Amino acid sequence: MKANYVIVGAGISGCSIAYNLAVKGIKDIVVLDKSYLTSGSTGRCGAGIRQQWGTKMNCLLAKGSIEFFEEAKETLGYDGDIEFKQEGYLIISANEEEDEQFEKNVFLQQSLGIPSRKITKDEAKKIVPHLNTDVIVGATFCPTDGHLNPFKMTDAYFQAAQRLGVKFYFNEEVKDIVVKNRKIKKVISTNLEIKTRNVINAAGGYAKEIGDMAGVDIPVYAENHEILVTEPVEKIQGPMVMSFAKNLYCQQVPHGSFIMGRSNPDVLHNHSNESTWQFLDEMSKTVCEILPVVGNLRVVRQWGGSYTMSPDRQPIIGGTEDLKGFYLACGFSGHGFMFAPMTGILLSQIILKQKTMIDISDLQLNRFKNKQVFTYEKSVV
């Protein structure tokens, strides 16, 4: 079997890249996934979408992606509902230092055309009436941030890519990438051997392992992040409420359930997807402090998934100096769902040697190799 491009991973990134290449007229694209569509982090994520970031690159990736999500149903010709809800993100500052940082973040965001603003405790209380403002100093709010259904959004890309001729193979684990004289020769998976010159690594938490198969060192690692969902109740909360200092995100989704998560400061670097009693305990305490009424809800389910962390908490999107035809879309550090539209657009432009929609020289793999001073994203839960 032969392919022009082999994409490893059928999460939101792989599906977006496949669609963007196919829509530009590229033929013979094959997507391999060791499991099923959305089986990786995509099907385990909070699916929050925000433009309120601390680095220029993350702001621009999110802003461009939101513009795509707003039209996604029509652009992709999807007959389902992607459940895009744009009721904002309310990001609370829990101390003076954080509040000062948010002032700077909003200045950056506004300079890039993002409609975020700094607000007082009283304004925050008007937006989320059950917010406990005794524990906050201030907040920022961006009304166009929001939430999507990760399964349906990925399905929309998947179906559009299939209609354009992309071939998807599931339960096909990539086992090896054969390279000779710094050129890719073939990809070997569970049941297939595919001759190809081009491989796109969209393997999420396994991006490092796929890099190792091709002899390219990618300095990313997977770490477990847990999340839970409550019973559905009538609508009481529009925006996502988020706090970096208090370590919380909490969103009510359109069918009424609350989805919430926090990170574990002692987490190990591995592929664990487990969920723990400790998370349930810590999560409950955190949410009861900030959104006390939510503490009355019953938890329906909890689970874990991988964040694929990069050294500067920003993604790696681009080719590699050491191996022609090997491309990366990884290291999203917990935010790859919201960046997926821009990931697909930008990587397809790089692959086809077109001018990229925004300058992403700062997202190249060599930023780590060359040990250049890079901008570190602090706005991460």
Query: Where do contacts with ligand FAD occur on this chain (CB under 6 A)?
Result: 8-14, 32-35, 39-42, 44-48, 173-174, 202-206, 210, 225, 227, 261, 305-307, 332, 334-338
Backbone angles phi, psi at 49, to 5 degrees: -130, 115
Identity of the residue, 99 or 334, whose beta carbon is nearer to ligand FAD in the bound complex: 334
> Tokens in use for 214?
């091709």
Output the smallest distance, CB 248 to ligand FAD, in A: 12
Identity of the residue, 13 or 140, whose beta carbon is nearer to ligand FAD in the bound complex: 13
Output the smallest distance, CB 294 to ligand FAD, in A: 17
Output the smallest distance, CB 13 to ligand FAD, in A: 3
CA distance 324 to 119: 48
What sign for the dihedral angle of Cα 114, 145, 149, 246? positive
Output the smallest distance, CB 257 to ligand FAD, in A: 15
Identity of the residue, 137 or 228, whose beta carbon is nearer to ligand FAD in the bound complex: 228
> Tokens in use for 100?
């000062």
Identity of the residue, 34 or 367, whose beta carbon is nearer to ligand FAD in the bound complex: 34
Task: Give the H/E segment covering residue 57.
Answer: helix 56-75
The total number of residues shown for the chain amounts to 381
What sign for the dihedral angle of Cα 41, 160, 202, 247? negative
Identity of the residue, 315 or 325, whose beta carbon is nearer to ligand FAD in the bound complex: 315
User: What would the DSSP string read from start to end of 97-131?
Assistant: HHHHHHHHHHHHHHHTT---EEE-HHHHHHHSTT-
Identity of the residue, 271 or 369, whose beta carbon is nearer to ligand FAD in the bound complex: 271
Identity of the residue, 138 or 211, whose beta carbon is nearer to ligand FAD in the bound complex: 211
Output the smallest distance, CB 315 to ligand FAD, in A: 8
Output the smallest distance, CB 136 to ligand FAD, in A: 21
> Tokens in use for 45?
């994520």
Strand residues in the chain grouped as ranges (E):
5-8, 29-32, 48-49, 89-93, 117-119, 138-142, 146-147, 167-169, 174-180, 183-189, 193-195, 199-201, 221-230, 240-243, 248-252, 258-262, 299-309, 316-319, 326-330
- Dihedral, CA of residue 207, residue 209, residue 211 and residue 213, to nearest 10: -150
Output the smallest distance, CB 134 to ligand FAD, in A: 27
Beta-carbon neighbour count of residue 1 at 10 Å? Answer: 14
Identity of the residue, 65 or 137, whose beta carbon is nearer to ligand FAD in the bound complex: 65
Identity of the residue, 95 or 270, whose beta carbon is nearer to ligand FAD in the bound complex: 270
**338, burial (CB in 10 Å: exposed 0-12, middle 13-18, buried 19+):** buried
Task: Give the H/E segment covering residue 340.
Answer: helix 336-351
Output the smallest distance, CB 147 to ligand FAD, in A: 8
Identity of the residue, 137 or 317, whose beta carbon is nearer to ligand FAD in the bound complex: 317
Output the smallest distance, CB 373 to ligand FAD, in A: 25
Output the smallest distance, CB 34 to ligand FAD, in A: 4
User: What would the DSSP string read from start to end of 264-330?
Assistant: -TT--BS------HHHHHHHHHHHHHHSGGGGGSPEEEEEEEEEEE-TTSS-EEEE-SSSBTEEEEE
